[in-house]
Amino acid sequence: MVTSIASDPATTIDSLSHTADELTIRWADEQTSHLSALWLRDHCQMPASRNPNNGQRLLNITDIPLTLSIATATRVGNDRLTVVFEPGGYASTYDTCWIRGNCYTLNNAYDDRSAKHKRLWKKNDLASDLPTVAYPQFAHDLDDETRALRYVAEYGFCVLTDVPCNSRQVLNIIAHFGHPRITNYGDIFEVKTVVDPNNLAYSNLGLGCHTDNPYRNPIPTVQLLHCLSNSTHGGDSILVDGFRAATVLREESPTHFQLLVGNWVSFRFSDDTADLRSRGPMIEVDDLSNIIAVRFNNRSISSIQLPHERMAAYYEAYRHFAEILEREDLKVTFKLEPGHLLLFDNTRVLHARTAFSSDGKRHLQGAYADLDSLYSRLLVLERSKVGV
């Protein structure tokens, strides 16, 4: 964010000019903003157009005249400018810091979710240094809470250590940044071996890399796994950065990447009490083709139904991506010990586990939450540090 000081060349106006349709600002740092009359009027910051308490618009786009034009544009002191619009002579005054920070010709759209703004990683990047925060510090120090949530935003996950091994403790973690996402499994779920499980996660079998619940709409975007006991042989946790894997696929075969982006497939979970179905692409991108989500779960993928002429090529792409996800150089492997809690982005990080012995005990409690509240909490914490 640009600091609002009059001497800053980035927020100091060198010259102003305008036509009826557009305002042109030449800044002291030699950058130029071109702002349309409609955009300026729509983004008016005056109390007549925006509620001064919450910043929400009072103006509807249909309230702006079709014949809107800029009549005058004038500097006010060193840090403001006033634009008068016709018809009607409405005057709007803008802070130059706000104009520069929001100028669409000089700034990209806000983006805190796509792969473009993440630290993509592979095994060697994190093998000896996982993003880790001790729970007592997380719970009582806002700087450490910020650090843990920032790890999730940047790396897609964080391991909390020294978490009390109490049942339902996972919900206390969620309470720091949001609310549990209640599903057919309840507000928490138990990951331990049971007879005739309705989900293979509740067996002692190894599980391949996957994201959870792609059969839901919307998908739970945050997952937590809290280790209460783990005395078995095996049962190691495996993480893969899905954004890194999708980037590798795009580099190795743009055609395969586009096939997984451009074709939706169905996912399904069904048992005696639930029948959940959803469709989506295995790799999702935004309007700028930046990777924003991965859906991959071979246990839950339903019947793949695509046009006949596309099926063979799709399976080639699907296999290619699956092979990348199983490459050892992308996998981070570690053992969750009692008191460890894994907090991760379920739209990015794929998780897996090795098979484990039937002797001993392995018990995790899990829960789901939402990235929206996690990012919101992180932004509020970071905003409070800079006094914004």
**Does 126 fall in a domain?**
yes
Q: What is the pLDDT of residues 276-289, one digit of tens each?
A: 999 999 999 999 99
Between CA 378 and CA 388 the distance in angstroms is 14
181: CB partners within 8 A, 6+ apart: 220, 222, 367, 368, 369, 370
Report the candidate in 263, 232, 231, 260 with the shortest Cα–Cα distance to residue 245. 260
DSSP type of residue 89: T
Are residues 197 and 279 both part of a single domain? yes
**Does 91 fall in a domain?**
yes
Residue 304: CATH number of its domain: 3.60.130.10
Tell me, what's the pLDDT at 193?
A: 64
**End-to-end Cα, the chain, rounded Å:** 10
**Does 2 fall in a domain?**
no
Are residues 95 and 184 both part of a single domain? no
Tell me, what's the pLDDT at 234?
A: 81
Tell me, what's the pLDDT at 166?
A: 97
Are residues 133 and 212 both part of a single domain? yes
**Does 258 fall in a domain?**
yes
Instruction: Specify the number of domains making up the chain.
Output: 2
Domain that includes residue 169, residue range: 115-386
Between CA 358 and CA 193 the distance in angstroms is 9
**Under a CB-based contact definition with an 8 Å cutoff, are residues 40 and 64 in contact?**
no
Tell me, what's the pLDDT at 233?
A: 83
Between CA 97 and CA 215 the distance in angstroms is 45
Tell me, what's the pLDDT at 2?
A: 40
Are residues 121 and 157 both part of a single domain? yes
User: Has residue 3 got a pLDDT over 50?
Assistant: no
**Does 193 fall in a domain?**
yes
Tell me, what's the pLDDT at 206?
A: 59
Between CA 305 and CA 105 the distance in angstroms is 43
Last residue of a domain, one of 80, 102, 124: 102
Last residue of a domain, one of 76, 102, 128: 102
**Does 110 fall in a domain?**
no
Report the candidate in 30, 159, 31, 33 with the shortest Cα–Cα distance to residue 99. 33
More confident residue, 195 or 49: 49
Are residues 221 and 148 both part of a single domain? yes
**Does 206 fall in a domain?**
yes
Residue 28: CATH number of its domain: 3.30.2020.30
Are residues 153 and 34 both part of a single domain? no
Tell me, what's the pLDDT at 308?
A: 97
Are residues 25 and 122 both part of a single domain? no
Tell me, what's the pLDDT at 6?
A: 47
DSSP type of residue 79: T
Any idea which residue has 């053992």 for tokens? 335
Are residues 156 and 98 both part of a single domain? no
Between CA 142 and CA 176 the distance in angstroms is 10
Last residue of a domain, one of 102, 128, 163: 102
Tell me, what's the pLDDT at 370?
A: 97
Any idea which residue has 């009359």 for tokens? 37
Q: What is the pLDDT of residues 144-202, one digit of tens each?
A: 999 999 999 999 999 999 999 999 999 999 999 999 999 999 999 999 864 344 444 44
Are residues 171 and 255 both part of a single domain? yes
In this prediction the pTM is 0.90
Q: What is the pLDDT of residues 236-261, one digit of tens each?
A: 999 999 999 999 999 999 999 999 99
Are residues 85 and 120 both part of a single domain? no
Are residues 307 and 211 both part of a single domain? yes
Are residues 309 and 262 both part of a single domain? yes
**Does 94 fall in a domain?**
yes
Between CA 211 and CA 267 the distance in angstroms is 12
Q: What is the pLDDT of residues 127-141, one digit of tens each?
A: 779 999 999 999 999
